[in-house]
Structure 1
Amino acid sequence: MPELLSDRTAVVTGAASGIGREIAHTYARHGASVVVADVQEAPREEGTPTHEWIADETGADTRFVECDVTDRADLEASVDAADEFGGLDVMVNNAGIVGPVAPIQEIDREEYDRLRSINLDGVYFGCQVAADRLLERGEGGSIINMSSAAGMVGYPNISPYNVAKGGVRLLTYGLAAELGPHGVRVNAIHPGVIETEMTRSDFPIVGTEEGEETMETIPLRRFGTPEDVASVATFLASDLASYVTAESIVVDGGQLNTA
């Protein structure tokens, strides 16, 4: 396998599980050093913690940093950890939750605030901390923000999620314009239904009757995998995407544009 990310260091938030776990792993396979930043060390899928899995399988430099993305100091500590491996080159703001699934009139302020603080504020301040470091280093870099198909169109009964993910999309565009003159690219990934614990447990679609019906609306007739998203994240972090910024790349098997 060609090493698309050799001599680069990435911080991936929410990397203990799911999509973030696979992004961190794929980056390491492509030669990157990786800081695994998460509120918990153990993966939701069970098994070996991400940083240990990476070290055992790839031999890449990696470490775990406990990081609550609602705490700017934790985000700073995650970026500081990248200095151990030469300094930050790639920031992936991936951490997120589904939050409440209910009509808008049933969602209280506490639920709304919690989701927004993780899914939108956590990305905003992750970008802020990364921009500080990347501009200080003066070598360009890549910021990748995890949005969602729900950041492109509105879905019923997940209004706080729509708000946050839509905000991530527009934040990405604004920062691409702001940071582009400094050589820093900023892009967003918008996954559709991806097979993770989130879509099995938090917002059950995978393995349900509703899921089977949903799959029929996807041209490729399958749900995505974390590897599908990680491949796009690897492209965006690499020199293959050196002229790609302010983009929203949808990874949903074609559902959004054909429904």
Structure 2
Amino acid sequence: MNRLSRKVCLITGAASGIGAAMARAFAAEDATVIISDINAAKGEATAASLGGKGFFLSHDVTDEAQWQSVMAAIAEHHGGLDVLVNNAGIIGTEGGADHDPEHTSLDEWHRVMRINLDSVFLGCKHAITAMRATGRGGSIINMSSRSGLVGVPKTSAYAASKAAIRNHSKSVALYCAQENLGIRCNSLYPASIRTPMWESMIDSREDEQAMIDAMPLHRFGRPEEVAAVAILLASDEATYITGSEFNIDGGILAGTSTSPK
């Protein structure tokens, strides 16, 4: 389809999961794809799987100096940035402890905020500067979550970080419009997408079936279904879409948890 021809796209946290699916989908649309991650082995393997379209950069998204280095490398080797997907993130409870509002430590709260929220702030900040320099405009896509739209008692830090991404995306969109930069910023809200992150939250086959039964479409989403929306927002087909939100949740947020009969 070549919908992303001549576009240089940076996807953070793209060594696996939704990020890797986006990298594959973007490359299939003829984009140059920069995969950034702290997992060098997986990141390099994912980039290699894209052939000449994929490149890997080691990148801690909480470190501003590394953001500056990544943007400098993209400018030097690829002529500038056209698309940023702020995808890197954690739930924070991977070790097994809940993050409820009463017992979460301040250190745990800050860790989730650094990785999920500070990284988006830094990514937007440096992407705007990089895109301004090329004069080509661009697209910033921030990964929020269904959890950023509703309360989640046992992953409260994650939910708060994703809610903040929702609002910051709108601020970025309005700022870029006011500056007449031709840079758009939108946010995605996936829910129940079958990835390694979700696997850690499924305790048993019965638990999995209960989740499926509660979903209006009665199945988990696929990472490729999130990537499809990201392609639209990255492409020149979406040049009048900015400050918008896209739920990719199989209908979960459309009503109550009771399935239609």
Common fold, TM-score beyond 0.5?
A: yes
- Output the CA distance in 2 between the equivalents of 1:93 and 1:255: 23
Match of 1:169 in 2: 166
Matched AA of 2:248: V
Q: Does 1:77 align with 2:105?
A: no
Matched AA of 1:73: A
Mark the CA change 1:162 to 1:126 in structure 2 (over 3 Å): closer, same or farther: same
Match of 1:119 in 2: 116
TM-score (norm 2): 0.91
Match of 1:157 in 2: 154
Gaps of 5+ in 1: none
Mapping for residues 106-255 of structure 1, pairs under 5 Å: 106-180=103-177, 181-201=180-200, 204-205=201-202, 208-255=205-252
Q: How far off its partner does 1:206 sit?
A: 8.2
Gaps of 5+ in 2: 257-261
Match of 1:93 in 2: 86
Q: How far off its partner does 1:71 sit?
A: 0.2
Give percent identity, aligned residues only: 39
Q: How far off its partner does 1:257 sit?
A: 1.4
- Output the CA distance in 2 between the equivalents of 1:64 and 1:4: 22
Matched AA of 2:78: F
Contact 2:99 2:157 in 1 (8 A): no
Matched AA of 1:200: E
Q: Which moved more, 1:211-220 or 1:243-252?
A: 211-220
Match of 1:21 in 2: 20
Contact 1:144 1:233 in 2 (8 A): yes
Q: How far off its partner does 1:159 sit?
A: 0.8
TM-score (norm 1): 0.92
Cα-to-partner distance string for 1:172-227 (whole Å, 9 max, x where unaligned): 011100002211000000100111110002xx138642231121222211111110
- Output the CA distance in 2 between the equivalents of 1:42 and 1:223: 28
Matched AA of 1:31: D
Matched AA of 1:52: A
- Output the CA distance in 1 between the equivalents of 2:203 and 2:141: 26
The alignment's C-alpha RMSD in Å is: 1.5
SS in 2 for 1:34: strand
Question: Quick one: which of 49, 54, 63 aligns to 1:53?
Answer: 49
Cα-to-partner distance string for 1:77-103 (whole Å, 9 max, x where unaligned): 222232212210000100000003332
- Output the CA distance in 1 between the equivalents of 2:230 and 2:208: 25
Count of matched residue pairs? 249
Q: How far off its partner does 1:43 sit?
A: 3.2
Match of 1:32 in 2: 31
SS in 2 for 1:145: strand
Match of 1:257 in 2: 254
Matched AA of 2:123: G
- Output the CA distance in 2 between the equivalents of 1:216 and 1:236: 31
